[in-house]
Amino acid sequence: MQLVINAFIAGSLAALIAGGLAFVYGILGVFNLALGQIALIGGYTTWWLYQVHSVPLPVSIICGMAFGALVSWLIFEVFINPFYKRHRFLPLVTTIALSMILDAVILMVFRERPRSILPGVKEQISGFGITISPVQIVMICTTLVFLFLLAYFLHSTSFGRKIRAVTQNDIAASSLGIRSGLMHRIIFIISGVLAAAGGIYIGIDTSLTPVLAFSLTIKAYAAIIAGGKGNIWGAILCAYLISLLEQFAIGVHWFGTFYISAGYQQTVALLVIILFLLWKPNGLFVSSSRKA
């Protein structure tokens, strides 16, 4: 049971980042390999405001996410926009370059020392064979609230409908007067905000170090590949699934002989990617756009 809770904690984090990424990938077909760095930027900004300047925590968090949004917008203008119309893959390489540059900036400003937004041990609540801290409960709930807000936004506001229109068919949407360029930017910024939220999450739960970025990105990609291209809910669900898998698959004596040691924990996400790509290249939950 504790394992399930652990999975929820880790999964919420992955879900935040994967959700935004699925959006971007589904619509723009663009890979953003600098996503982990955006998450870190959000987390570090919050840390800086809260720990260094004693700005109240809720304000710090909001500012962290706002800054993540700003950075995402800049990234779009410089690293994505000039390239993705030529070919979908160019941003893959440019965002790799971007991730190196952002890593450098983060290192220079924040150094290698781990930074924690809420340091110290958190009090625990125990019951039903599980232990969890109030902070973690808050975080999981906040994540779920976020995701529900996203759902509401997409399905029940006119803005959201425009975005969904662009998702289904870019050109048709433009012909109806929807400014797809603006929509693309908004989508990208949303993914940045979600990533920043993820980074803040890590900063609160454990601590931030510059080297975390890459594994975050990989986990998010595992989730979206499994969830299906462009399917946000599939991606989010798969994020939780992968976390569950990671928790349960390790240390168990499979078939009495085969033992997966803890060193392979990260590998589980990777194997998921591979298996899905081979077996169901379009993901678990394929949403086809309406053709007519």
List of residues contacting another protein (CB under 8 A): 2-3, 6, 9-10, 29, 31, 79, 82-83, 86-90, 92-94, 96-101, 103-105, 107-108, 111-114, 119-122, 124, 126, 131, 133, 206-207, 209, 211-212, 214, 218, 221-222, 225, 229, 246-247, 250-251, 261-267, 270-271, 273-274, 277-278, 281
Q: Closer to another protein at the Cβ: 157 or 289?
A: 289
Given the complex with another protein, which of 63 and 269 has the nearer CB atom? 269
Q: How many CA atoms lie within 13 A of 13 on its CB side?
A: 25
Least CB distance from residue 173 to another protein, whole Å? 22
Q: 29 or 160, CB closer to another protein?
A: 29
Please state, in angstroms and rounded to a whole number, the distance separating the CA atoms of residues 229 and 234: 9
Closest distance between another protein and the C-beta of residue 200, in Å? Answer: 16
Count of CB atoms situated within 10 Å of the CB of 127: 7
Please state whether beta strands 253-254 and 258-259 pair in parallel, antiparallel, or not at all (unpaired).
antiparallel
Minimum distance from CB of 85 to another protein (Å)?
A: 10
Min. distance of Cβ 33 from another protein in angstroms?
9
Beta carbon nearer to another protein, 78 or 172 = 78
H helices of the chain, where? 2-28, 35-47, 57-75, 81-84, 90-110, 134-156, 158-168, 170-175, 180-205, 213-227, 232-249, 265-279
Q: Output the smallest distance, CB 130 to another protein, in A.
A: 9
Nearer residue to another protein within complex by CB, 141 or 277: 277
**Is there a contact between 201 and 256 (Cβ–Cβ < 8 Å)?**
no
Question: DSSP secondary-structure letter at 113?
Answer: S
The distance of closest approach from Cβ of residue 19 to another protein in the complex, given in angstroms and rounded to an integer, is 17
CB atoms within 10 A of CB 150: 21
Residue closer to another protein (CB basis): 63 or 210: 210
List, in sequence order, every residue forming a beta bridge with 127; answer none if it has no partner: 130
What's the closest the beta carbon of residue 256 comes to another protein, in angstroms? 17
The residues, ordered by sequence, that sit 6+ positions from 184 with a Cβ below 8 Å of its Cβ are 27, 28, 76, 166
Smallest gap from Cβ 45 to another protein, in A, equals: 18
Measuring CA to CA, how many Å separate 17 from each of 109, 166, 177?
23, 21, 30
* Nearest residue (CB) to another protein, 278 versus 292: 278
Nearer to another protein, 126 or 158 (CB): 126
Tokens 């999975």 appear where?
7
Asked if 66 contacts 170 with a C-beta cutoff of 8 angstroms, the reply is no
Q: What SS3 class is residue 258?
A: strand
